[in-house]
Structure 1
């Protein structure tokens, strides 16, 4: 019995330490379906999402979902700490609780108490170790607890630094692709003269953003649960909008920016596929078509009216559909798992973007004192598609 308890305590420590190492320190995707972190998120996210989705008010529902990411991080650290305290307490119990305590009869709870005070480096001194083995174990546990707290203190800045870098580009996309971002709006707002270079530069930035998202969110998967500050924004909707735009450029838009679109599409698809595999979710099949033929015709008309040079032939829709098949199933699976809606191709009722109040004042200034034909054209496009 003592041997089995000792082995169980050692196994508990190894499981917790290995899981914490893979989650915090290891800069690559953690392997294994029976990892403690994976089990923790399965057991907590599904009921949390179930309750949050029962909230009818959209803003309150999104707020409830946004609480999960930070709270799960705190509770995961609590689970790790409790697991290590429990593992050491089993080892003490297996060794016969080698301590001196004048006020209590030694039992398992005494070993648990000693383990907790040693792990959190309290050093109360009311229970004294007896023998060299007990002293060595207490020293090891105290060092483990101190190292765990130090790693946790360095873990938070890394997570929130990666989160902030992710959100900056998402916020910048608001003025360039609408809220929520759509491929149609992104293309329409880049239909002025000389916009090819601006669009290619934007896609280049999002190629790098996708690479950073892939590296950070595979190493720190819990960042996927961290949601944006606005209800109509998310990292998944932004990534999908960029994939939609890149697909549209590759399949049927003339211009040198189509070359950059291929590079951005490859990296963005790599990110969405790998993140779906991290959660062990298969791509969705037989899902509703996000861009049926009639909506594609409407998209084509909108782009033509906006001055976008679209290459339309008998195979353009099929080419676009083939490209969409490479990523939409994974994006839909992530959308369902994380409760983050995907953006439409065309916004049915465009929202008033955060920057439009400034754009209105600027358009009035340009009307009073015209500067260039390009700036006036941009103002006209804004006025045609948004009500102030």
Structure 2
């Protein structure tokens, strides 16, 4: 029995240390199906998402979803600490509970020895150093020293892990927030392209797509290394990293699929191809992270059309001022369909798993859209009322008549 306890304890400690190394330190996606972190998120996320889907109010549901990311991080640390305490307790038990415990001298039996082993393991892991339980064997002292080092290392990893995690989250959300004025909220491809239909808009669009190409690469690097970031929600209910990424993919697909009238408009298409490739790479790899391949294959076989015929006609009408020729060209429509099939199943599978809504291709403009309010003020200059003046009636200038200055 003691031999089994020793083997189990060593495997438990090594499993936690390896899992913490792969989750926090290893910069690439770890392999293996039986990782503690993966099992933890499978066990906790499935019931959490099921409860969230039962909430009918959109704001309350998003609030419930938003709690999971930070809470799961704390719970994961608790799980690691709990498993380490039990793993070292099994090792102490396998050594015959070699401790002088003044409190337990009046008690005899295996269950009291186990409580002493758990107490020693807990106080050692958290480096309390109370000294009320003294080891009798040299090997027990060596294990205690090793466990205290593991405890210090766990604390150091947590202290270093949190700033990196929240730094990546904050960096991700800055670009998502900036897209609000450029593509609406929630963002749509039609709004993004129509708001760049001004003189010099092509150059601005190239700069924007280049920024999102880099953003997608940074998203791929950070979220593959730290998949927990995918559970972190944006600060606003109508924004999310996934809807922003899909809106950019939609806009790139429209630019690639459409027929542009002259060579001057081919520059956005080139950048659109680069951004599309990088953004699709990110969304495909994140689907692999959460093992959504069966769901993706099912959606690819029975696609859920995000662009109904009526919406397609509205999209063509909205893009007409931008000189993007989409309707009336069968080749463009066919190219758009092929491009959508390359990323929409992956995006829909991720959205269903994470509880994030897919953006529409085109929506009715919202009355509360701040960008449109500012644009309308700019495009319709205020005409001053002839009966009103910013000059006070008591002002000398207001009472002067033509010719008064001659006197």
Following TM superposition, by how much is the alpha carbon of 1:368 offset from its aligned partner in structure 2, in angstroms? 5.7
Question: Which residue of structure 1 lines up, in the alignment, with residue 183 of structure 2?
Answer: 177
User: Partners of 1:233 and 1:311 in 2: how far apart?
Assistant: 28
Question: Which residue of structure 2 lines up, in the alignment, with residue 202 of structure 1?
Answer: 208
Please say if 1:258 is aligned against 2:269: yes
Question: Which residue of structure 2 lines up, in the alignment, with residue 68 of structure 1?
Answer: 68
Say what the alpha-carbon RMSD is for the aligned residues: 1.6
Which of 264, 267, 272 does residue 283 from structure 2 map onto?
A: 272
Question: Which residue of structure 2 lines up, in the alignment, with residue 151 of structure 1?
Answer: 157
Deviations 1:344-382 (A, max 9, x none): 101145362344554455456x5569xxxxxxxxxxxxx
Kept in 1, the 8 Å contact 2:213–2:274? The answer is yes
Kept in 1, the 8 Å contact 2:5–2:94? The answer is yes
User: Partners of 1:351 and 1:222 in 2: how far apart?
Assistant: 35
User: Partners of 1:169 and 1:220 in 2: how far apart?
Assistant: 19
User: Partners of 1:253 and 1:74 in 2: how far apart?
Assistant: 51
User: Larger Rg: 1 or 2?
Assistant: 2
Deviations 1:45-83 (A, max 9, x none): 111111112111111110010000000000001001111
User: Partners of 2:378 and 2:330 in 1: how far apart?
Assistant: 42
Following TM superposition, by how much is the alpha carbon of 1:224 offset from its aligned partner in structure 2, in angstroms? 0.1
Following TM superposition, by how much is the alpha carbon of 1:251 offset from its aligned partner in structure 2, in angstroms? 0.3
User: Partners of 1:351 and 1:126 in 2: how far apart?
Assistant: 69
Unaligned runs of 5+ in 2: 385-407
Please say if 1:39 is aligned against 2:39: yes
Change (3 A) 1:258 1:367: farther
Deviations 1:191-235 (A, max 9, x none): 011100000100000000000000000000000000001111000
Please say if 1:160 is aligned against 2:166: yes
Following TM superposition, by how much is the alpha carbon of 1:14 offset from its aligned partner in structure 2, in angstroms? 1.2
Tell me the secondary structure at the aligned position of residue 97 of structure 1: coil
Question: Which residue of structure 1 lines up, in the alignment, with residue 387 of structure 2?
Answer: none
Kept in 2, the 8 Å contact 1:240–1:342? The answer is yes
Tell me the secondary structure at the aligned position of residue 142 of structure 1: helix
Deviations 1:74-132 (A, max 9, x none): 00010011111110000000000111112214511110010000000001111011121
User: Partners of 2:214 and 2:259 in 1: how far apart?
Assistant: 22
Tell me the secondary structure at the aligned position of residue 103 of structure 1: helix
Following TM superposition, by how much is the alpha carbon of 1:311 offset from its aligned partner in structure 2, in angstroms? 5.2
TM-score, scaled to structure 1:
0.91
Kept in 1, the 8 Å contact 2:326–2:333? The answer is no
Question: Which residue of structure 1 lines up, in the alignment, with residue 404 of structure 2?
Answer: none
Say how many residue pairs are matched: 367
Deviations 1:245-268 (A, max 9, x none): 000000005221000000000000
User: Partners of 1:30 and 1:327 in 2: how far apart?
Assistant: 24
Which stretches of structure 1, 4 residues or longer, exceed 6 Å deviation after superposition? none
Following TM superposition, by how much is the alpha carbon of 1:310 offset from its aligned partner in structure 2, in angstroms? 1.9
User: Partners of 1:146 and 1:276 in 2: how far apart?
Assistant: 35
Change (3 A) 1:92 1:219: same
User: Partners of 2:319 and 2:96 in 1: how far apart?
Assistant: 78
Change (3 A) 1:297 1:113: same
Question: Which residue of structure 2 lines up, in the alignment, with residue 337 of structure 1?
Answer: 353
Please say if 1:130 is aligned against 2:127: no
User: Partners of 1:42 and 1:368 in 2: how far apart?
Assistant: 62
Following TM superposition, by how much is the alpha carbon of 1:134 offset from its aligned partner in structure 2, in angstroms? 0.9
